[in-house]
Structure 1
Amino acid sequence: MTLRRVARLFALGLVAVLASAPSRAEPGATSREMILADPAAPVGGAKDGDVTIVAYLDYNCGFCKRSAPALEKLVKTDGKIRLVYKDWPILSETSIVGAKLALAAKYQGKYEDAHKALMGLVGAKVPAEKMTAALISAGVDMTRLKADGAAHNDEITALLKRNDAQARGMLFQGTPVYLVGPLKVAAALDYAGFRDAVAQARERQATR
């Protein structure tokens, strides 16, 4: 997918998106600050990156899984991208299971390991047992994860509600959706597509 096609079909100014978003959760849940810098949301890549990608994803989404390796590669090779993960489990009951497992893994510093393991699973309705097995293979301490999941259940549930309020407030139709700097991309991009979207985001930010 070319940059021009991405821009023509899917690009939308982030400020414009947020301006039209009705709030459907606690005050501030759909604010620009909470979308870009929710303190509970897992973050990867460069801490002070010049472009932030906010990724709304579901672990049962085939399009999300198709794009995951390309996004991971870009974040590593570019070196100046901040990646905010927004678990948005909307496709099945096990999507919620997967999101809660990944977010519980965050408390032992294993969110990205869990995320990669879950995105690597094939299928649209992955059983919870298969998700658990994938995390064990990725080196996640399941005893601790279970304890952290229980201890932080309210925080995890609140985060998922904020993510859902943000996505629905911005009228997202499904996963994946990537907010790339000032752009919205509702498509499963390959490496070149992500790279071009980031380049366009930088160009737009430079002209502000």
Structure 2
Amino acid sequence: MLRSLLCSAALACAVAGPAAALDLAQMTDAEREAFRAEVRAYLFDNPEVIYEAVAVLEQRQAELQAANDVDLVAENADALFNDGHSFVGGNPEGDITIVEFFDYRCGYCHKAFPEVNELVESDGNIRFIVKELPILGDSSVLASRFAIATQQVAGDEAYKQVHDALMTMKGDVSDVTLRRLGESFGLDTDAIMAHMDSDDVTAVIDANRALAARLDISGTPSFVMGDQMIRGYVPLEGMQQIVAEERS
């Protein structure tokens, strides 16, 4: 009886569409229990169906997230691409803009660093923006404050030197190590360190954190590539593919 009921329901759905779906409320208690047992038996006999269903669900969720991300990027375009305080590298006239949110104490940011540099340098037509997002404790904040203060006191070239050094630094970040780092580049470390706790530096960090929150970014590294958002580490080949997709 149950198999006949299921077949009839399937035929009705095929002919009449979703409105004719099987109505469990119309079953007797016995029919309902038998139906559940049949479904359970089917899933035990065909467990791969569960994985197929999960894959479909994940694909739909990914598509919804991607569409939402396009809207988020558009709504926050000025803050992402023209905030007036973030360092801009690569080709300023590039046809693709990549924005990276990073933390100097983030292991995956360190792993991504040479690959992102390779992408930008080998491509030659990428505008690359970096945004300080210190989220991994006091050492992260200290490093970011020093880098931002360097940019505001000594300019973009000095910032790039300090940024690259911090992205490859091993060991703890402290006032002592930062002072030595600045001195190694011939910078006025007294002026930089005096500026670290200024309102101007705080404003940059606060703005970047607020932007990350609006973009649903909670970890580093995170990237905006064209109108796509990538939350997490992506190897060089993956980034190259995304850039190619954005250009196509």
Q: Which band: TM-score by shorter chain?
A: 0.7 to 0.9
Q: Which residue of 2 aligns with 1:113?
A: 161
C-alpha separation between the residues in 1 aligned to 2:182 and 2:212? 27
Cα distance, 1:141 vs structure 2? 3.6
Alignment partner of 1:137 out of 168, 184, 196: 184
Secondary structure, counterpart of 2:131 in structure 1: strand
Identity of aligned residues (%): 31
The Cα offsets for residues 12-62 of structure 1, whole Å up to 9 and x where unpaired, read as 35432247xxxxxxxxxx732112110011111111111111110000100
Cα distance, 1:127 vs structure 2? 3.6
CA contact (8 A) 1:49 1:80 kept: yes
Q: Which residue of 1 aligns with 2:139?
A: 94
Cα distance, 1:143 vs structure 2? 3.1
1:42 aligns with 2:87: yes
C-alpha separation between the residues in 1 aligned to 2:142 and 2:227? 31
1:78 maps to a residue whose letter is D
Cα distance, 1:80 vs structure 2? 0.8
Q: Which residue of 2 aligns with 1:3?
A: none
Give the paired residue count. 182
CA contact (8 A) 2:120 2:126 kept: yes
CA contact (8 A) 1:50 1:81 kept: yes
Q: Which residue of 1 aligns with 2:233?
A: 188
Secondary structure, counterpart of 2:70 in structure 1: helix
Cα distance, 1:196 vs structure 2? 1.7
Cα distance, 1:183 vs structure 2? 1.1
Secondary structure, counterpart of 1:84 in structure 2: strand
CA contact (8 A) 1:67 1:190 kept: yes
C-alpha separation between the residues in 2 aligned to 1:146 and 1:126? 14
1:80 aligns with 2:125: yes
Range moving further from structure 2, 179-188 or 30-39: 30-39
CA contact (8 A) 2:73 2:227 kept: no
The Cα offsets for residues 145-200 of structure 1, whole Å up to 9 and x where unpaired, read as 235546xx222211111100011111112111010111111122232222222112
2:72 maps to a residue whose letter is V
C-alpha separation between the residues in 2 aligned to 1:59 and 1:37? 23
Q: Which residue of 1 aligns with 2:71?
A: 16
The alignment's C-alpha RMSD in Å is 2.3
The Cα offsets for residues 58-110 of structure 1, whole Å up to 9 and x where unpaired, read as 00100001001111121111111111111000101111111111112213231
2:81 maps to a residue whose letter is L
2:119 maps to a residue whose letter is L
Q: TM-score, normalised by structure 2?
A: 0.66
2:115 maps to a residue whose letter is A
Q: Which has the higher contact order (CA 8 A, sep 6+)?
A: 1
Q: TM-score, normalised by structure 1?
A: 0.77
CA contact (8 A) 1:64 1:175 kept: yes
- From the superposition, tell whether residues 49 and 146 of structure 1 become closer, same or farther in structure 2 (CA, over 3 Å): same
C-alpha separation between the residues in 2 aligned to 1:172 and 1:113? 26
Secondary structure, counterpart of 1:189 in structure 2: coil
Quick check: which has more Rg, 1 or 2? 2
Alignment partner of 1:161 out of 206, 227, 232: 206
Q: Which residue of 2 aligns with 1:4?
A: none
Higher helix share: 2
